[in-house]
Amino acid sequence: MSRFDTILVVDWSARAVPSPAAPSPDSVWIGCVEAQGMTSAYHRTRGEAEAALHERVDALVAADRRSLLCLDFAFGYPAPFAQRLTGHAHAFAVWDWLEAQIVDGPDNANNRYEVADAMNAQFPGQGPFWGHPQGRTYAHLTMRDARSGHGVADEKRLTERLADGHPQSPFKLAGAGAVGGQTLTGLPMLARLRRRYEARLGVWPFEDHALDRQIVLAEVWPSLLAVTPGEGEVRDDIQVRALAAALDRMQQEGSLDAAFAAAHGDALHEEGWILGVGVEEALRAAAHGSVHPRLGNDCFALPPGVDWTPVDEALARLRGSLSCVTGAEAVPIAAAEGRVLVAAARADRANPPAANAAVDGYGFASGATGEGPQSLPLVEGRAAAGQPSPGSVPEGRAVRILTGAILPEGVDTVILQEDAAVEDGQVTFNGPVRPGANTRKAGEDVAAGVTLLPPGHVLRPPDLALLAATGIARVEVRRRLRVGVLSTGDELAEPGVAAEPELTYDANRPMLLALMRRWGHEAVDLGHARDDRGGLRQRLDRAAEGVDAILTSGGASAGDEDHVSALLREAGSLDLWRIAVKPGRPLALGLWRGVPVFGLPGNPVAAFVCTLIFARPSLGVLAGATWSEPQGFEVPAAFEKRKKPGRREYLRARLREGRAEIFASEGSGRISGLSWADGLVELGDGAAQVRPGDSVRFLPYGSFGL
Which residues form the interface with ligand AMP (CB under 6 A)?
487, 489, 491-492, 504, 506-509, 553-557, 601-604
Beta strands in 291-360 (DSSP E): 328-332, 345-346, 356-357
DSSP symbol at 667: -
- For residues 258 and 241, give the distance between their C-alpha atoms in angstroms, rounded to a whole number: 21
Residue/partner pairs of 80-84 with CB below 8 Å, 24 or more apart: 80/151, 80/152, 80/267, 80/270, 81/128, 81/152, 81/270, 82/270, 83/270, 84/122, 84/123, 84/151, 84/152
| Spatial distance between the Cα atoms of 266 and 619, rounded to a whole number of angstroms | 51
Dihedral sign for Cα atoms in the order 544, 547, 548, 551: negative
Residues 6+ apart with CB under 8 A from 365: 393, 395, 396, 410, 411, 412, 413
Say which entry of ligand AMP, Mg ion, none residue 553 contacts (CB below 5 to 8 A, set by partner kind).
ligand AMP
440 binds, among ligand AMP, Mg ion, none (CB under 5 to 8 A by kind): none
3-state SS, residue 690: strand
Q: Which is nearer to ligand AMP, 351 or 565 (CB)?
A: 565
Q: Quick one: DSSP state of residue 1?
A: -
Q: Which is nearer to Mg ion, 110 or 553 (CB)?
A: 553
443 near Mg ion (CB under 5 A) = no
Residues in the chain: 706
Name the residue nearer to ligand AMP (CB basis): 21 or 498: 498
Cβ proximity to Mg ion, 127 vs 555, nearer residue: 555
Residues 6 or more apart from 61 whose CB is under 8 A from it? 197, 200, 214, 215
Bridge-based pairing of strands 37-43 and 679-683 is: unpaired
The answer to whether the beta carbons of residues 23 and 48 sit under 8 Å apart is no
- The listed partner (Mg ion, ligand AMP, none) that binds 603, CB under 5 to 8 Å by sort, is ligand AMP
Q: How far is the CB of 505 from ligand AMP (least distance, A)?
A: 7
**Nearer to ligand AMP among residue 413 and residue 603 (C-beta):** 603
Residue nearest ligand AMP, CB atom distance: 602
> Binds 13, which of Mg ion, ligand AMP, none (CB < 5 to 8 A, cut-off by type)?
none
Q: How many residues bind Mg ion (CB under 5 A)?
A: 4
- Strand, helix or coil for residue 607: helix
Least distance (Å) between residue 592 CB and ligand AMP: 18
DSSP run (H or E) holding 258: helix 256-261
Residue closer to ligand AMP, measured from CB, 369 or 557: 557
Residue 624 near residue 668 (C-beta atoms within 8 A): no
At its nearest, how many Å lie between ligand AMP and the CB of residue 527? 11
Q: Which does 214 bind (CB under 5 to 8 A by kind): ligand AMP, Mg ion, none?
A: none
Q: Is 599 in the site for Mg ion (CB under 5 A)?
A: no
Which CB sits closer to ligand AMP, 249 or 509?
A: 509
242 touches 287 (CB < 8 A): yes
Residues in region 12-51 near Mg ion by CB under 5 A: none
- Please give the full DSSP string across 398-457, using - where no structure is assigned: EEEE-TTPBPPTT--EEEEGGG-EEETTEEEEEEP--TTTTEE-TTSSB-TT-EEE-TTP
Nearest approach, Cβ of residue 161 and Mg ion (Å):
60
Least distance from C-beta 445 to ligand AMP, angstroms? Answer: 49
Query: In the bound complex, what is the minimum distance in angstroms from residue 584's beta carbon to ligand AMP?
Result: 11
Dist CA 200 CA 34 (whole Å): 20
Q: Round to whole Å and give the CA distance between 85 and 119.
A: 7
Kindly tell me which of 69 and 566 has the beta carbon lying closer to ligand AMP.
566
Mask 484-503, x = binds Mg ion (CB under 5 A)? Answer: -----x--------------
Residues numbered 496 to 535 that lie near Mg ion (CB under 5 A) are none
Q: Give Cβ neighbours of residue 267 (< 8 Å, ≥ 6 apart).
A: 78, 79, 80, 89, 157, 158
Phi, psi of 597 (to 5 degrees): -115, 130
The CB-of-551 to Mg ion minimum distance in angstroms stands at: 15
Considering the complex, what minimum distance in angstroms separates the CB of residue 478 from ligand AMP?
29
- Nearest to ligand AMP of 409, 494 (CB atom): 494
Query: From the CB of 522, what's the least distance to ligand AMP, in Å?
Result: 21
Residue 148 makes CB contacts below 8 A (sequence gap 6+) with: 125, 126
- For the CB of residue 614, give the shortest distance to ligand AMP in the complex, in Å: 15
User: How many CB atoms neighbour CB 645 within 10 A?
Assistant: 10
CB of 544 to Mg ion, least distance (A): 21
Which among ligand AMP, Mg ion, none contacts residue 348 (Cβ within 5 to 8 A by kind)?
A: none
Task: Considering the complex, state which of residue 494 and residue 629 has its C-beta at the smaller distance from ligand AMP.
Answer: 494
Q: How far apart are CA 214 and CA 1, in angstroms?
A: 10
365 close to 412: Cβ distance less than 8 angstroms:
yes
Q: How would you classify residue 475: left for phi > 0, otherwise alpha for psi between -120 and 50, otherwise beta?
A: beta
Residues 600-659 that bind Mg ion (CB under 5 A): 602
CA distance to 107, 297, 329, 566, per residue, from 572 (Å): 39, 9, 34, 10
When the beta carbons of 489 and 584 are compared against Mg ion, the nearer one is 489
By C-beta, is 555 or 630 nearer to Mg ion? 555
Which of the ranges 313-321, 369-377, 449-457, 596-604 carries the binding residues for Mg ion, by CB under 5 A? 596-604
Binds 504, which of ligand AMP, Mg ion, none (CB < 5 to 8 A, cut-off by type)?
ligand AMP
Cβ nearer to ligand AMP, comparing 67 with 488: 488
CB of 482 to Mg ion, least distance (A): 25
- From 170, 555, 583, 624, residue interacting with Mg ion (rule: CB under 5 A): 555
d(CA 451, CA 472): 12
Q: Does 554 sit near Mg ion (CB under 5 A)?
A: yes
Q: Residue 487: which of ligand AMP, Mg ion, none does it interact with, CB under 5 to 8 A by kind? A: ligand AMP
Shortest distance (Å) from residue 504 CB to Mg ion: 9
Q: Using CB under 5 A as the criterion, which residues of the chain lie in contact with Mg ion when the complex forms?
A: 489, 554-555, 602
